[in-house]
Each structure stands twice: as structure tokens, then as C-alpha cells.
Structure 1
Amino acid sequence: MYLKLRFKIIGIFLLGSVFISAQKPIYKNPKQPIEIRIQDLLKRMTPEEKFWQCFMIPGDLDNVPKGQYSHGIFGLQVSAGNLGDGVAGQLLKYNANEDAEKLAKKINAIQKYFVEESRLGIPIIPFDEALHGLVREGATAFPQSIALAATFNTDLMAQVSTAIAKESKLRGIRQILTPVINLASDVRWGRTEETYGEDPFLTSVMGVSFVTSFENKGIITTPKHFLANVGEGGRDSYPIHWSKRYLEETHLIPFHTAFTKGKSRSVMTSYNLLDGRPSTANHWLLTEKLKKDWNFTGFIISDASAVGGANVLHFTAKDYDDASAQAINAGLDVIFQTEYKHYKLFMPPFLDGRISKERIDDAISRVLRAKFELGLFENPYVSTKEIEELKKLNHKPLAEEAAAESFVLLQNNNQTLPVPETVKKILVVGTDAVDARLGGYSGPGNKKVNILDGLKNYTPNKDIEIMYSKGIDWNLKEFTTISNEYLTSENKKGLKGSYFSNTDLKGNPTFEKQDEQFNFKWTLYSPNPEKLQPDNYSIRWTGKLEAPDFGKYQLGLRGNDGFRLYLDGKLLIDQWEKLSYSSKTVEVDFTKGKKYDLRIEFHENRGEANLELIWNYGLQNYQKDFKEALDLAQKADYIIVTAGIHEGEFQDRSSLSLPGNQESFIHEVAKLNKPTTVVLVGGSAIKTTTWKDKVGAILDVWYPGEEGGNAVAKTLFGVENPSGKLPVTFPIEEGQLPLTYNHHPTGRGNDYYDLSGEPLYPFGFGLSYTTFEISNLQLNKTQYSENDTIIAKMNVKNTGSKTGSEVVQLYVKDLLASVSRPIIELKGFQKIELKAGESKSVTIEVPVKQLQFLNEKKEWTVEKGTYRIMIGNSSKNLPLKQNIEVL
């Protein structure tokens, strides 16, 4: 009897055990609190699985055997890959031919693998770029970020970001690596186009409008680059030595606002040094400021390949795993690399104790919290219904509206714009009339409309002839890289490269490889960081050069010196001494089809190498294009010159002038004394000093997006009235830079001995086809406490003859402070549309707490005293002023 009873009890126990084990783990139970689910999952994870939740890469399951992902991963940038070589590669390429439905289904398939076949079933976060539109086939390309800022319209920004968020989520994207909320403190910076301008307030409110739309739709936003990605001289990712007071009161403000008001759940670090430490491994920045002071509960990711920069760029880490340990210990949560195989370099400190279990678990908890909040454990897939909805989306009208609102009319002498109805023959000149450039971090766009097509779209039923001539080119080239179709080595395209770990080509090469393209930019690292030091190597290339034609051509090398070129054994170029960056060419009399023995030697002893094999074969006849355009201009009633600049990541500008032969053409065409409008295309300040008074109108259209051509045409003909305002200051000369409107008072004057300190076009400036009058400023009171709100009311009247919009801007000046304050600061604005003769009241509210700054003790305070409220339509035109007291 006892034995039977015992067996019964054991049986019941075993059945109960089976029942319990069959239950879902706590972390998979959506009814459990998120923090409980996190802790349950953490206990089940191996150290290796924890590492993989801290590792993100571009790619998919096509290029890595599925079994290698059994440990899971943080997330993937699907159908993207490394553009460049090595662990330090920082740029990515995308599959632009994969339409929305294919991408959504591919992400579903990838997600299915991780949910069903990885050990713990942790879903991934599919991430992507979406600066001004998702960078994918079929996604709408809106105007570039700087253009959206120029609208000074936060409601419009919210509409644009909502559209981008919808297009992203319906494809399965659940994190975007945007927006860029760095301040464009120096317009020479090549990435100014990606920002919302130079002002902390404008950047903050635009940033909040952008990120809120995504976060509300369950997409994590990742403001970047934390912190201050522009250094001295406007150079990208240069070291920052600014005081913490300055950073707190300027560059940190947009980030703090994005986290507290926009609810961004992630942030990306920058490549640069901040106070001697890489941003990716800066304990003050990531832990003390962000996580402790601001109580940030989201996760911090590095920029692509930035962690290893501590080793190969900043020399503050002895190797990659040391860089990994330093970054995670400083507060970084997720390492962003560009290839799967890089994990071997960054995993060791996660396993050997150099990173504490507490720090690892904190990083993992932040990642898992986001995945739980997104609902990925319950709903990881894009549904068929959502894919069908995606096909029906049409945001082209919104793209055109955003473009039209962003255009800034810089000059309009003699009412050159709108184009008069009497004009019957218009000449359009310039490559930017036909190229429809979208700017950096852009997808391909949907049926992009260029400026020339926009003009033709607008005028088909009008008695107006539109002529076009290329005429000019911002990308004018004297030489071009020699294509690999003319280079061979051992019956392979390109040249054979022998790489030596010394600077004099001695001994046996460390390695050899076939280099198909001869245009090298090893500015961040050596040709192979694992085998060569960036400042101690040499290379010999050998092969054949086939002459494409008969005739005399210039052949040579362009780079940072330290090179030689031999043709058929004869030394033609000998620039072995390292001096600077230069181009060296010689004239060669080619025989078509002949294959010449080619040998090139190069050495690098200081890093940042550049080398390009060049010639002048096949280049366009620019002089012929120039003359043809001038000849056509004589036949035209009206001339539209489209002129643009070259900029972008790794492409800072030393000159703000129009590149190529664009300015020369403007000077020449102006001599015809015909009404001429210059349409500027670019994402930053452009110097117009030498030619602006020779033309009638200047319209800055930025990078206006896929519907930009139609918006430009309607603006030129007066259907749309320009209402954009400058989010950056345009200087008279480069020597004034950096130049921002909100600088601090100087100890002496503000001028140069040979130039004014004033800008050419100030922050907030922008003309209209009509005129406005702002009057009758009334404040709700004149004395305020710290918790009050300043309510400013004023009348705005359209005193012209056309409907138009004006941006009323409110600035504040602290008249006496314990520490120096900016001469003025933007604190509010309101955009209003008025019909001709119409008048309306405008209200701008400013919480008094927005007047706070860091006192001498580095404490945030609203200091008692007198402040001046100033109202106008630019930072240099503020006719309405009234003092207030803060008690």
C-alpha cells in the first residue's frame, strides 16, 4: 500500500513537472511586466548570447550560414553591406533594386529564423537610415534635412516624419539611425546638409517633431552624432576641445530635448575625440552625463566601426578587444560593425572578465527593454495587410509641399522673380537642372523630377519656349581615374599590388592582391589594418596599360606624394619625397591598342594616404559647352542658371565659392544684361559675394527631394511664394568662419581690418514675393517668475500684392548676467500665411525656464534680472523690442 502510494505521488510530481516545463518561459509571457521578462531572459542567456545582443551589422542571411546566427544578434541592416575595406570601414552600400514588398518579405523571413530557430528566439531589430526618407527603393525622397529646417514649420516636419515612419514600419524597419541633430557651427563642414542648422532651439524643435512621429509608431529613433561631430575648420570628426559649459548650453541641448520631449530610445556616438577621449569610450559623456545626469534608459550605439577607432585612429586602445572593453565600460551598449566576421575582434572582453557582468547585463537590459517595448516578441512580422497598404501610399504631394516651403529667396532685385508673363524664351543652364541631386543619405527616390522637367511640366500649354544647355559643371574635371578596362595584370582586370611592411619596398611583400580600381583613400587606416601600420608601408603595382586611342594625353598620379611611375621601364614621374598633396602628369604619345608595361611605386610614412592613377582621356570639352550656353543666352529673354556645390561625409569644403566653371559663366552671362536668376543647389552656405550684384535674383532650393523640380518651377513662376528662412549664416568670406548669429560678445570689435564681421545673409533671413509688417508687440506682463510663461502677441500684415507666408521670430538678450551670454538667442517662432492686405495676430509663448543657463557654479539657473524680448523676421531685423524683469 505504501509502495503504491509512493508511486502515485512520484507520478503526480512528474506530471506536474512536465506541465510546468511545457509552460511558456516568463520572458515570452506578454502579461508579465517588462522588467520581470528582462530579468528572466537574462538568467537564461550565455555570455556569448549576451555579446550578440550588443552587436549590430549590415547584412542578411544570404551571406552567412544560418547556423552562425544560432546565438541571435541585436539587429541587421538588411540588404546592406560594407563599402570599403577592413575592420575600420565606415561607409555602407544598399541594395537599391529591392522594392518595398520584397524587403518586407525578406525581413519577415529573417525575423522568422531568429524567432523560431535561434536558441532563445530573441527577435532582431531591423534598422536603417531615414534622414529625409528611407534609403530604399520606392521610398519617398523628401527635401534634405537642412531644407526641412529652412521651412521653420514644425507641423510640416511632423507630417513629413510621419510619412517616413509609415513607409519604414510597413517594410519592417523598427529602428532608424537618424536624425542628425549636431549643430552646424561651421558651414565648411561637409555634413551641414544633414543637420537642422546652427541653432540649438531650431534644431531641438525640429528634432522633436521628427523623432516623435517615429517613436509614436513603434520605431526607435537614434539621434546622432553624440557629440559635436564637427571640429575646428569645419572638419568632420575632428577632436573637440570646447568647455563643458559651452557643450551643455549648445550641442547637448538638442539631444537632451530629443530624449525628454521626443522620447528617443537610442543614440549614436560620434567618431571624434571629446576632451581627449573617443566619444565611443567617453565615460563622462555616456555614463555620467547621459545615463546618470539625464537618466537616459535607452541604449547607446556606436557609429559604424567607431569602436575600433580607439585603436587605429585615436591610439587610446592597444587593440580591438581593448577598444571594445573601454567602450562598453565607459557606457556604450551596442557595437556597430560593418561585417559579421568582425565579432571575433570585439567579443573577448565580454567573456574574460574585462567587462563586469553588471555592466554587460545593464547593456543587454537596455536592448531587451526596447525589443519588449516594440512588441517584437509578440508581433515580429509585417502582415500581408500592411504590405498591401504600403503599395497604396503616395507621399509625392507632401514632398512637393515641403520643398516649396523650404526655398529661401536670397535676392530679388528689380522684381526678377516671379518670371514675368511677357517672357517667351527661357534658357536653363547647368548640370543641376537635369541631375535632380537628393543629397547625402538618400535613397533613389520615386520618378525624380529635375528642375528642367519641372519647368517643362509647368509650361506645356503656355507660349513659352524652354531651352537647355549644360554649359557649366560643378564637378569639372581636368583628369579622371583610369578605368580598369584599360588595366590588366596576368589576364585579370586591374594591377597586381605587392604590399610591404616598410617604406622602401625591401624584402618580400607582406601580402599581394589584385587591385581592380586604382583610386585609393586610406585616410582612416592602412590598406590592411591587421597586417600594415598606417604610417609604415610601401606598395608596388605592376601590369599593363592599354592605350584607348592614338594621340597625346596627360598620364600621371594624384595623391599625397611619395610615388613613382614607370612606363615601359622608363621613369616618367619621380615624386618620392613626401611633401603634400599634388597631381603630377606627363604627356604620352599613345598608339591605340598598344599595351604598355606599367609600374607604380608608393610609400607612406605618416598616414592618411591618397593615390589615384589619372589621365585626361575621354574628358568632356567644357569650353565648348560653355560657349554653346553663352550663344544660346543671347537668344533668350530670360536666363536661369542652376549652380551647385560638392559636399558630404568625408567631403568638407575649404572654399564656399561655387566650384568648377559656374562663377565664370555667371560673370559672363551677366554681361548680356538680361534678367537672370541663379538657382542654388546644395546643403550649406554658398559664397555669392563676387557675383550677386550682377544678377537679378538668387533662390536657394537646397536638395529639394524627388518632387523638387515641380516645386522649383511653380516658385519661379509665382504659383508658390518662397517662405523659407536660413537655418545657417552665410558669410561674406571664408575668413569670417566660424560665424554664427548667437556668438558671445567680443573683447574688442567684431570687424576685420579688411572686412566687416557681419554676415552676407544672416540666420533666419529669407525674402518673399510680397512684403510684411510686424507691429504692436504686447506682452502678457513685464515681470515674471521662473515658473511663468512669456506670452508675446503681435500683429502681422501682408502689405504686398501676393499671398505669402512670414516667419515671425522671437529672440532674447540677457542684458546683464553673471557669466557671458550669447548676444541674442532664438527662443520661439511662428509661421503664418496671409493673403494680400490681410492682417492677423500672432502669439509666441516662451516658458521663462528657457532662459536658464549655467551659472558660475555650473548649476542650471534662471538668473534674476533684465532681459530684452526682440521680434522680427531674421536675426538681423528685429524692430520690435521690449524689456522684461525676471524676479
Structure 2
Amino acid sequence: MGPSARAVPQHRCTFRIAPPAVLPTRLSLLCCALLCASVASAQLPYKDPSLPIPARVSDLLARMTPDEKFRQLFMVAGELGPDSTRFTNGLFGFQVNATQQQGGAADQLLTYAAGPDAQRTLEKVNGMQRFFIERTRLGIPMIAFDEALHGLVRNGATAFPQSICMAASFDTTLMGRVSAAIANETEARGLRMVLSPVVNLATDVRWGRVEETYGEDPYLASLFGVSYVQAMESRGILTTPKHFVANHGAGGRDSYPAFWSERHLRETYFKPFQACIQQGGARSIMTAYNSLDGRPCSANGHLLNDVLRRDWGFRGFVISDAAATGGANVLHVTARDYEDAGRQSVENGQDVIFQTDFAHYELFKKPFLDGTVKQAAIDSAVAHVLAMKFELGLFDQPYMSDSLLKSLDLNAHRELAYEMAVKGAVLLKNENNVLPLSSTDYRITVLGSDAMDARLGGYSGPGNAPISIFAGIEAQLGKKPGELTWAVGCTRVDEHTRPVEPEVLRHGKGKDMAPGLIATYFNGIDLSAAPAFTRTDEQIDFQWTLFGPDPRVDYDHFAVRWEGMIAPIESGTFNIGVEGMDGYRLWLNNTLVIDRWEAQGYATTLVPYPFTQGKPCELRIEYRERAGNARFRLVWDANVSRAASDKLVNEAVDLAAEGDVAVVVVGIEEGEFRDRSSLKLPGRQEELIHRVAATGKPVVVVLVGGSAITMDAWIDEVDAVLMAWYPGEAGGLALADLLFGKRNPSGRLPITFPRNEGQLPLVYNHYPTGRGDDYVDGTGQPLFPFGYGLSYTTFTYSELKLNRNTFTTKDTVLLSITVSNTGSMAGEEVVQLYTHDELASVARPVKELKGFQRVALEPGTSKQVTFKLTASMFTLLNEAMLEVTEPGTFRLMVGGSSKDIRLRALVELME
């Protein structure tokens, strides 16, 4: 909760009429009026911190105009700007230093500028708050909010390992400490709300946002979500578990429509959200972009009213994802316009509309001001927002001092980041114990761009001096000539072509020549019709996914003609052409060189053409778009050298052949709007691994990324594989300590790694099949199962004991085992407990994670590990969709992963 309330003294303002001889002067009357106004303001009930919050909310709500109410339901990226008068009726709040990318009310993507340092951010937030307190009629404070998935997205903030890496630690205590550190860095800047955590389940690893999650399992994701939320909320920072709900669909595609049964949702995808609310105390929830069973999640009354508030008792506010409310109009087509979309969302339980620019306010406001939106729905939503602002203490102590900022210990936070990177890294293979490496006996060759890049993952700030993997290894070995070398080998993207650069695209003639191409847009696919508009496009590199090129043409039925010239800066015969959807034609010097006018679907078409430096080539392109989701690019290979790419690979292989061991650091491309159809390493990275392995030298592959990678093509050729994820700003030091044995790997996979994409979706806790799991051309088993991870030492499990073999709903079953370190190195084992219902009225998962414990053991030592089981752990939804505990037998399984079950037992729940 917010700061403790301070009692405000009650004042009584009385006046005595003076005799005519002593009438007050005009100045004294003015002073008296001002004094009385001040006293009257102090007497307003909503300003009285001694009153209960519901009373304060009720009083304030009764004083608000329709516009003042709606503005509490509108949150935006940005800040006051030069025209602060736009906000004199108030606002929910701002995401400071964030701006929309493309413009338009349907623009979902924001640019997160790291912005000023912490001190200046605090001063900016306090200054903005002062405006709302002092220059709005009612003095309603705003909420400054930001992204803080694995660290605040700000300059000077600690960049912790990505969420998926933290989940791989299987250490919720450490997660809580990380969250507390993020909370301190957040509050110190005056920010009081974060749009985190992501508690969607990563049940299809093609989804580009797997990195942001805590993995595929509802139990694991719930525990990590609660750890994050509790630490934040206990420090007065509102958390926003997101995206409610089912944020990926068929093919692992982001925000695809979901048609999942209520049973499936309640047994899996709902659970982390429910836990964050009921156990963590989350006071904000963000809806998802997708539709669920035909209704947009931002206007889904069943989700927001029945499930969230009625069933779970949620008392905070619900916000949309950025520009998601209007998605009912633009994407899902379940609303007539933005006004109707806003009405539907608030009347169905969403409280706050999140847009990427305040200019969009005009698109939504009318029905909220003219009585179209139900007044009860508006008042309910505003009350939810005001209650949280009161709880945060913003009315009573709206400004943040810099005392917390001065006390921040970023060195301690960096140590936390290091520890999480160590515990989150997963050793997937270690043939013949090639790891750990010796720091004295090897000439080590490090290869790959990811060895130098120190990538932090999506929704990251810049971090504080991030350390690359190469820099970490170098710090281990010292700068000894010839003992440590690096070569890029290849990048993650192997480009055969690139978009034709703006520098060579021109229109006009002679002195009138200007940059760009003249683009004529047509409403419809008939280029003989009257144009809708004409503009200059600097480059042809478009992806019209969420909306069309301009409101003046239809979203999914338009045509374009580009005209101008290419002014090459070098001579040569280059392959030039088009990557695009649907029909297109290309003319060079009035000659038709590409004609796919009747084609449908996506294709890349190239032709060789001789270009001469200083001699412009006339260019005309025609394109017609008939089906939506248009992608269109004019590309060539003038700026791409295959020979240079070959040279980089060859140099890396030669360098590896000269050394004693090669550490090949490779990674993937993923993220928001970046789902993967292939899980292979992109570019020439697999080729690099093959060729380095062919040298006969030991090969250690380090994987950088936030999701599963297929490895069947090369894993048998290498000696060791270490999954680093995105390890944060101290990741280079952590990975080096793991590679050289100063620390022992102990991370476990929070997602299943498939052998190929045809197995997807593939999760460990699936339901029984009516037939087999295998394919005619392959296995149904994963490459690496959920919970998997190796160590430099070995552990044995023994002596499983139960305090009782039967139990009732009032009993607790104690399951204990002995874990022993039988190797020669200290290490940590993650002991995992799985259960299975042997006979139930409805089908149950083949296996469910119900507990895990980290056990640190010195060589030759043992420790007893005990799990507590209660009947509540075995509940299910019966045929009537009621949560019940059915009597019967349950199998208990203990092991090192979902497949590595070492010990088993049966217990019976009695009636």
C-alpha cells in the first residue's frame, strides 16, 4: 500500500460583517476569499486521508465531469509536451520517454527511449505530477508507468537476465530478490506502475515472445509470477500481469485467435493470472490483443467480469494493451469504429484504454461524454482507477524524494543479475566431460557475433556496462597473446539481398531531381482508376500488417505505382527484384523484367541487370494487394557480397583449426512481431558449427536466445552445448565462470525442446492420446524435455519415504527422499516432484509438476528433501466444471526432469 495517512485538521471558516466605518478593503477581501478557498479545499472529503478510501472515491467521483471521468480511463505513452493545456482535465497517466513508432490509432508498437538518467527522470515525473496536482481542477494525480520485465527499460537501470532465463533457475527466492531490486530502481525514479510480468504460457515455442515468459508449465509460471508480483506490490508498485489471456494461437503466431475450451483455460492458461491476483496481490491486469472464442479480449465480458472479478475477486483495474481496444474495430471487426470499440470495452469490464499517443483521445471520447456508454460502467471503471491512486498514496504524498535514489546499490543488483545468469544457464550436453575448460591448458578460439554482442533480449534497457561472453572469457584468462582469439564467422542473418537504399532512389530530372520515388496509391486494385493520393516514398520496404498504407485506401484492397529511377553508386550486374505478396510488376528502363501480376501468395523474384555508375536507370513498379497482411520490398544484391561472407566463415574455421578448443556462440532472431516458422539456427550458423566440428577439435556451442532451438542436424558433431538464454548485463562473467568451472551449471529447461517443428506444439503435461505419439517419419519424443539440465557432478536419489500411504482432505502427506552428490565437484540439484491421477472422471495430464527444491551439496554429502502434499494439490474440474477433489490413487514421481524419474510411490486419497 501507499504511505501511511496523515490526519488533516478540520477548519471552520466564519465571517463577521463589519460596521460601515470599518468595511474591509478590496485587498483584504481578496485575501479572505483566497484563504477560505484554501480552507474549503482542505475540507473536501476526498482530500481527507483520515477517511476510508471508498468514501474518498465516492466523494471525488460525484464531483467529476464526464470528461474528467473519461480521462481517468485513458493512458498514453509520452509526456506533457509543449501544450500542457491538453491535460487540464486530467489523465490516468503517462509512460514517460516512450513514443509510438508509426502513427495512427492502430499502432501497437512503441519505441522505448532509454531516456535521461535516474535523477532527471525523477525530476521529470515530479514535474509532471505537480502539473496534475496544481493545475487541474480537482488535483487528481497521474500514474507514471513503464516496462520492467527483467529490469526497468531505462538508462542506469540494471538489466537482469530475460524472464525465461530466470524461470530456468527454478529459484523463486532469487526471483523475489530480483523483483525487489527492480522495484527499488522503479520507485526511485518516481514510477509507480509496471506493465509486467508476462505470465502467458509458452506452449508453442514458435511464438516470438517465449523469451518474456516463465515457460510452459502453469505451476512454475504461477510461482515465478507471484514472486515477481509480491516483491513489487509490497513496495507500492502496481504490477500488471499480462496478456490476459491466451496470447498466441495456431502456428505459434502472436495474438492469433484462440478457440480454447473453458476447461483448458482454467486448468492451464488462467492459473498464473489467478495466482498473481489471489496470492501475489496484483492490482492491475492487461488484456491481450487476440480474440478468445470470437470476442476480443479487451471487450470480453466473460473474461473480465465473470472470471476476473466474480470468480477471482480482483479489485484493481484492467487496462488494454497498447492500441488493443481499437483492435475490435481495425482487426477483429466486432466494433463499428473506435467510439464503439471503447464503449464495448468499458461496458464489458475493461477500465482503461491504453493508446500510443494522446491524439487518439478524440477518437474514443464522444460516447463517454454524450451518455452512450452506460454511466454505471463508466463510474465503476473510474472508481477502480481512483481507488488504486488512493492506495498508492498519490493524493497525500504525490511527489517522490531522491532519498531512495541516493541509497540504490547498483553493485548489489549487478551481483543479483550475475547470480541469476549462473543459475539460469542450462547445460544440455557434455560429452566426455569436455566442460569445464581449463584456464591454463587451452588455446581457446571463440567464434560468433553473439560472443561480442552482449544481447539482453526484448523489453530491455541498455543495462550498466553489459559484459559480452568474449569479454567474460577474456577476464578469466587474462590478455595472453595467442591463447584467446575471436572471429565473427557469420552473423545471425545471412542476407542474399537487401532493400534498395534510399540513397540511390530518385525522382525528377536534372536540377529538379529529388530523393525517393513518386508513389501513386489507388483505392482498389485497378490502376486505371482515379488515384486516391500521391506521395513520395523514400524506400520500398513495407509491412502493412495491422493497417494499410493510409486511411484513404482500403486496408486489404489497394494498388500502388512507384515511379522514379535508381542512381547506382557503382557499376556492375546486380540481381534486383521484389519480395512481396500478391501481384507485382517491375520495369527497368521501360522494359518489363518481372511480371507476377496474376500471382497470389508470397514470393521473391530476382533478375540480373547491368547498372552503370552515374547513369540513372528508370524504374517503375506496380503492386496490387488483395488479401491483407501485405509485405512488399524492392531488393537487390548490390550491397551484399557472398564472397565476403564466405571469407568470414573460412577465416573462423582456419582459426579454430589452430586452437585447442572452439567455443562457438550462436543465437536466434525472435521477439514481438517476430514469430519463427523454423527453429533452426538462422543464417550460416549451422554451417559454421559443421565446419568447425570437422576440424576435429573439441567444440562447445553456447546458445543465445529465449526459446527452443532444433539441433538434430549438428548436435552429434559437437562435444558440449550450454543454453545461455539472454543472460543480462553480467552474463559474460557468469557464462565464463560456468565454462571454466568456477560455478557449476544447475539451470533446468522451463520449456520443451522439440526435435523438429512438426512436433509442435509439444509440452510435457499433455493429456493422454487415443493413439500413439510417434509419426511415420519420426518420434514424438522431444530433444530435451521440460525440467532437463546437466551438471558437472552427479546426483543419486534414494530412500523414498511417505509418512502415510492414505490420506483425507484434512491430512498432509510428507514425501521425503535422500539426494547424494556422488561426483567430485560441489553442485546444486533441482529435485522435481510430479504427480499423475491414476483414475479420474475426466482425462488428466500424463504428468504435472507439483513441487521442486534446489539442493546444494558438496562432493560426497547427502541431504534429505521433503515435499508436503495436501488434497488441494489434486483437485480437478469435473464434468459439471466444478472444482472437486475425487478420491482415488495418485502416482508420485521424483526426479531430475519430467523424463528423468528416479523414484515413484502411490498414495490414496480416501473419501
Same fold (TM over 0.5): yes
Q: Which residue of structure 2 aligns with residue 525 of structure 1?
A: 547
Q: Which residue of structure 2 aligns with residue 609 of structure 1?
A: 630
Cα distance in 2 for partners of 1:72, 1:703 equals 40
Q: Which residue of structure 1 aligns with residue 468 of structure 2?
A: 450
Is 1:231 the counterpart of 2:231 in the alignment? Answer: no
Summarize the alignment of residues 787-866 of structure 1 with structure 2, pairs less than 5 Å apart: 787-866=810-889
Cα distance in 2 for partners of 1:273, 1:588 equals 47
Is 1:331 the counterpart of 2:360 in the alignment? Answer: no
The 3-state SS of whatever aligns with 1:252 is helix
The 3-state SS of whatever aligns with 2:658 is coil
Of 726, 729, 733, the match for 1:706: 729
Q: Is the 8 A contact 2:524 2:554 kept in 1?
A: no
Is 1:684 the counterpart of 2:707 in the alignment? Answer: yes
Cα distance in 2 for partners of 1:683, 1:435 equals 15
Q: Which residue of structure 1 aligns with residue 618 of structure 2?
A: 597
Of 370, 378, 383, the match for 1:365: 383
Of 559, 563, 567, the match for 2:580: 559
RMSD of the TM alignment (CA)? 2.0
Of 126, 144, 147, the match for 1:108: 126
Q: Which residue of structure 1 aligns with residue 183 of structure 2?
A: 165
1:746-796 alpha-carbon deviations (Å, 9 max, x no partner): 111222222222111110000000001121122232222224333222211
1:444-472 alpha-carbon deviations (Å, 9 max, x no partner): 12111111111111111779711111112
Q: Which residue of structure 2 aligns with residue 647 of structure 1?
A: 670
Cα distance in 2 for partners of 1:35, 1:489 equals 65
Of 37, 42, 56, the match for 1:37: 56
The 3-state SS of whatever aligns with 1:344 is helix
Q: How far apart are 1:301 and its partner, in Å? A: 0.6
Cα distance in 2 for partners of 1:6, 1:75 equals 44
Q: Is the 8 A contact 1:134 1:442 kept in 2?
A: yes
Unaligned runs of 5+ in 1: none
Query: What is the identity, as a one-letter code, of the residue corresponding to 1:835?
Result: E
Summarize the alignment of residues 251-650 of structure 1 with structure 2, pairs less than 5 Å apart: 251-390=269-408, 394-420=412-438, 423-460=441-478, 465-489=483-507, 492-528=514-550, 530-620=551-641, 621-650=644-673
Cα distance in 2 for partners of 1:19, 1:173 equals 29
Q: Which residue of structure 2 aligns with residue 746 of structure 1?
A: 769
Q: How far apart are 1:48 and its partner, in Å? A: 0.8
Cα distance in 2 for partners of 1:393, 1:717 equals 24
1:223-279 alpha-carbon deviations (Å, 9 max, x no partner): 011001111111111111111001000000000000000000011111111011111
Q: How far apart are 1:828 and its partner, in Å? A: 0.5
Q: How far apart are 1:118 and its partner, in Å? A: 1.4
Q: Is the 8 A contact 2:119 2:402 kept in 1?
A: no
Q: Is the 8 A contact 1:423 1:638 kept in 2?
A: no
The 3-state SS of whatever aligns with 1:251 is helix
- Relative to structure 1, the CA distance from residue 604 to residue 846 in structure 2 (aligned partners, 3 Å threshold; closer, same or farther) is same
Of the structure 1 ranges 220-229 and 381-390, higher mean CA displacement relative to structure 2 is found in 381-390
Q: Which residue of structure 2 aligns with residue 214 of structure 1?
A: 232
Q: How far apart are 1:593 and its partner, in Å? A: 3.2
Q: Which residue of structure 1 aligns with residue 26 of structure 2?
A: none
- Relative to structure 1, the CA distance from residue 514 to residue 377 in structure 2 (aligned partners, 3 Å threshold; closer, same or farther) is farther
Of 199, 211, 215, the match for 1:197: 215
Q: How far apart are 1:102 and its partner, in Å? A: 1.7
Query: What is the identity, as a one-letter code, of the residue corresponding to 1:576?
Result: W
Q: How far apart are 1:20 and its partner, in Å? A: 6.6
Is 1:61 the counterpart of 2:80 in the alignment? Answer: yes
Q: Which residue of structure 1 aligns with residue 903 of structure 2?
A: 880
Query: What is the identity, as a one-letter code, of the residue corresponding to 1:100?
Result: A
The 3-state SS of whatever aligns with 2:561 is strand
Cα distance in 2 for partners of 1:608, 1:714 equals 46
Query: What is the identity, as a one-letter code, of the residue corresponding to 1:451?
Result: I
Q: How far apart are 1:644 and its partner, in Å? A: 0.9
Cα distance in 2 for partners of 1:885, 1:610 equals 58
Q: Is the 8 A contact 2:439 2:477 kept in 1?
A: no
Cα distance in 2 for partners of 1:161, 1:801 equals 34
Q: Is the 8 A contact 1:564 1:602 kept in 2?
A: yes
Cα distance in 1 for partners of 2:723, 2:343 equals 47
Is 1:95 the counterpart of 2:117 in the alignment? Answer: no
Unaligned runs of 5+ in 2: 1-14, 24-31
Q: How far apart are 1:59 and its partner, in Å? A: 0.5
Query: What is the identity, as a one-letter code, of the residue corresponding to 1:663?
Result: E
The 3-state SS of whatever aligns with 2:735 is helix
Query: What is the identity, as a one-letter code, of the residue corresponding to 2:127?
Result: A
Q: Which residue of structure 2 aligns with residue 656 of structure 1?
A: 679
Of the structure 1 ranges 532-541 and 212-221, higher mean CA displacement relative to structure 2 is found in 532-541
- Relative to structure 1, the CA distance from residue 453 to residue 18 in structure 2 (aligned partners, 3 Å threshold; closer, same or farther) is closer
The 3-state SS of whatever aligns with 2:111 is strand
Q: Which residue of structure 1 aligns with residue 8 of structure 2?
A: none
Query: What is the identity, as a one-letter code, of the residue corresponding to 2:144?
Result: P
Identity %: 50
Of the structure 1 ranges 182-191 and 462-471, higher mean CA displacement relative to structure 2 is found in 462-471
Query: Aligned residues, how many?
Result: 878
Cα distance in 2 for partners of 1:59, 1:22 equals 30
Q: Is the 8 A contact 2:563 2:619 kept in 1?
A: yes
Cα distance in 1 for partners of 2:382, 2:553 equals 35
Cα distance in 2 for partners of 1:869, 1:642 equals 39
Q: Which residue of structure 1 aligns with residue 5 of structure 2?
A: none
Is 1:117 the counterpart of 2:139 in the alignment? Answer: no
Q: How far apart are 1:742 and its partner, in Å? A: 0.4
Is 1:50 the counterpart of 2:50 in the alignment? Answer: no
Of 155, 170, 174, the match for 1:152: 170
The 3-state SS of whatever aligns with 2:490 is coil
Q: Which residue of structure 2 aligns with residue 28 of structure 1?
A: 47
The 3-state SS of whatever aligns with 1:879 is strand
- Relative to structure 1, the CA distance from residue 544 to residue 107 in structure 2 (aligned partners, 3 Å threshold; closer, same or farther) is farther
Q: Which residue of structure 1 aligns with residue 6 of structure 2?
A: none
The 3-state SS of whatever aligns with 1:828 is strand
The 3-state SS of whatever aligns with 2:49 is coil
Q: Is the 8 A contact 1:556 1:573 kept in 2?
A: yes
Q: How far apart are 1:387 and its partner, in Å? A: 3.4
Cα distance in 2 for partners of 1:8, 1:422 equals 97
1:555-581 alpha-carbon deviations (Å, 9 max, x no partner): 222121322223333333222224111
Q: Is the 8 A contact 2:42 2:48 kept in 1?
A: no
- Relative to structure 1, the CA distance from residue 849 to residue 506 in structure 2 (aligned partners, 3 Å threshold; closer, same or farther) is same
Q: Which residue of structure 2 aligns with residue 694 of structure 1?
A: 717
Cα distance in 1 for partners of 2:372, 2:163 equals 41
Q: How far apart are 1:111 and its partner, in Å? A: 1.0
Cα distance in 2 for partners of 1:466, 1:494 equals 47
Q: Is the 8 A contact 2:185 2:405 kept in 1?
A: no
Q: How far apart are 1:88 and its partner, in Å? A: 0.9
Cα distance in 2 for partners of 1:349, 1:33 equals 32
The 3-state SS of whatever aligns with 1:395 is helix
- Relative to structure 1, the CA distance from residue 17 to residue 422 in structure 2 (aligned partners, 3 Å threshold; closer, same or farther) is closer
Query: What is the identity, as a one-letter code, of the residue corresponding to 1:177?
Result: L
The 3-state SS of whatever aligns with 1:126 is strand
Q: How far apart are 1:26 and its partner, in Å? A: 1.2
Q: Is the 8 A contact 1:424 1:464 kept in 2?
A: no
